[in-house]
Chain A
Amino acid sequence: MSLDVFYFTEMPYHHIDDELAEQWPSLRLTFPNSYFDPNKATDLFKRYLDEFQYAEEAGFQGLMINEHHNTPSCMDVEVNITGGILARLTSKAKILMLGNMLPTSDNPPRLAEEIAMLDVISGGRIISGFVRGIGVESWANNTNPVYNRERFEECHDLIIKTWTTPGPFRWEGKHYNYRAVNPWMVPVQKPHPPAWVPGTGSPETVEWAVKHRYTYAAFLTELSRAKQLFGSYREQAAAAGWEAGPDKFAFMICAHVNETDEKAQESGKAFMWRMGHPLKGPREYWAPPGYFSQAGVAANAARRQKPMNEMTYEELQEHNHLVVGSPETVIKKLRHIKDELGIGSLLLETQGGPLSHEDTMRSIKLMGEEVIPALQD
């Protein structure tokens, strides 16, 4: 059973040391942007984009990008911009945008045409992820969290209709209204680019993914939790009369390879920045009132025993949020994950926090030469 391995980085602006980060309740939303140095960011973007390009050369089947706002943990503020860059910089890798935040968008046909344009430029390599945006994005974009799921679903329905129904047509919805939906740009892939949805546990998201037969990507969840979620997906699909194959399941994890276990354990410590400060913040930042349903609140409580930012380096590895080691060690761990979950795609956050260019490039190389081929049978 083959496995598509995706290279991922949040393109962190990691020049924020512990001492500074600890002065603020969170690196999200209200961390002052006066600490941002655009010149340093220029250098980082050059580097990160080079690393994406190299990941394709090294053998990753796909490249994954995401977006966040008001935070140094992710400099990508618009997946459709980075998607455009990668569409032109690369030639064969799938480009997984995971994804466009639908509820915060006021213009779904505009999103539909942007993604279609990327699909056209890339020659049909786009995977269109649709996301609700984590709770803190409701604050950053000032969209009412009570309507997050409603807007997500209506925005999605309108985008899919825009891609699949010849225009012009009219749309009179609850949150969106258009006189003439008729973008010139439509996607190469028919009926439309594959759509994916990430989840961390809300049962409604699994149900929604099954309904549309979309790939469900479990994000930084415990293996046991991911197994439950995928099991629930398979059961619901079976109840609806179809079988969910590995292509419907993806798992996201941080991963770092170095020549030996010892060296990897040392260089991999850079991921502690990523697992620490950016995940810290008041409850209201992550869960604005109304963002989670009662079922979602219960699912969150069951998600993990301890918040990731309180876990030690060792605990993060034990709980499969982070895989670190020599190629041999990492192959063994990732194989286990692949076999346990029955996934068709593995999303590896290979660059994280202050992991240096040199360590990142070596990790990409070893992944491409040894790890990815060993996961293919």
Chain B
Amino acid sequence: MVAFTEEMVDVGGTKVHTLKGGSGEPLLLLHGANGNSGWAKFVDALAEKYTVYYPSHPGYGKSERPDWLETIPDMACFYTWYLETLGLEGIRVIGFSMGGWIASEIAAMCNHSFSKLMLVDAVGIKPNDSEIADLFIISPAQVLDLVYHDPSQVPDYEMLYPAEPTPEQVMQAESNREMAVRLCWKPYMYDPRLPSLLQRVKIPTRMVWGKNDKIVPLECGELYKKAINGSDLVVIDNCGHSPQVEKPDEFMKAALDFLA
């Protein structure tokens, strides 16, 4: 396993819990609505090639939330400040689900933040012919039922989802969920401006999607492709919302080919 550190990055007085490890050029990972996975296998694999920065978003995990930060565009604005604080510019980024939405907003508002943009089963654009599953109105167990196409093919499933999580884990999950509600309640999981704003994005962009995503339909990936000139869409068969966990080999290939 690649060695990593934990640090609290001070962004204008707000402390952002950041996992950092690996070597090579910097790569920013932005997690989804559920929260930071910790130094998971896919993070470790990416850190073999890149110096990974994996923050918990403000309001998630151990990261603080400034009072003014209440929307995804606020979050994007905050992250341009975070990158500036770390002296990072023109770096690679992978945004997962809601993190993909954040990455897209950053790319649309600031053309020098990223050099390559990769979105994995990202929310942010309203589908026309389908719907993004409402994760707030169902129980955490029901949400989990939607995440994977086939849980039996997920490596280490029992370890990732213990039958009896600790009270601290339960409370952290509730708190992360509350933050997601704060950010994404209405309109639910999209920004109506985003498809128009994405015309500004000129950097290489790749979408990676689980073909059988029951949370963010593949249609959203197609809409991203349409909105971002020159982008491509890699669809992974027999795979749900989290290809990095459910189909790690295919995911890594799609990621490393693109990021290289």
Contact = CB atoms under 8 A, between A and B. Distances in A.
Given A142-B186, A144-B186, A288 B181 contact: yes
A38 interface: no
B182 interface: yes
Interface residues of A, number: 12
A288 B138 CA distance: 9
A282 interface: yes
Contact of A282 (B139, B177, B180, B186): B139
B185 A144 contact: yes
A146 B139 contact: no
A342 interface: no
A288 B134 CA distance: 12
Contacts of B219: none
A3 to B, nearest CB: 41
A283 B142 CA distance: 12
Interface string A157-180: 000000000000000000000000
B182 A290 contact: yes
Interface string B14-27: 00000000000000
B137 A139 contact: yes
B181 A145 contact: yes
Given A289-B174, A289-B177, A144 B137 contact: no
Contacts of A289: 136, 174, 177-178, 180-181
Interface string B85-115: 0000000000000000000000000000000
A70 to B, nearest CB: 13
Contacts of B181: 144-146, 288-290
A340 interface: no
Contacts of B174: 289
Contacts of B138: 282, 284
Interface in B116-138: 136-138
Measured as residues with beta carbon below 8 angstroms from the partner, the interface class of chain B is 10 to 19
B223 to A, nearest CB: 23
A139 B182 CA distance: 14
Contact of B178 (A146, A283, A284): A146
B136 A146 contact: no
A205 to B, nearest CB: 19
A300 to B, nearest CB: 13
Interface in A134-165: 139, 142, 144-146
A142 B139 CA distance: 18
Contacts of A145: 181, 185
A49 B259 CA distance: 70
A288 B182 contact: no
A282 B136 CA distance: 12
A105 B185 CA distance: 17
Contacts of B186: 142, 144
Contacts of B182: 144, 146, 290
Q: Which 3 A-B residue pairings sit nearest by Cβ, starting from the closest?
A: A144-B185, A290-B178, A289-B177
5 contacts: A146-B178, A283-B139, A284-B139, A289-B174, A289-B177
Given A144-B181, A285-B137, A290-B181, 5 more contacts: A139-B137, A144-B185, A282-B139, A289-B136, A290-B182
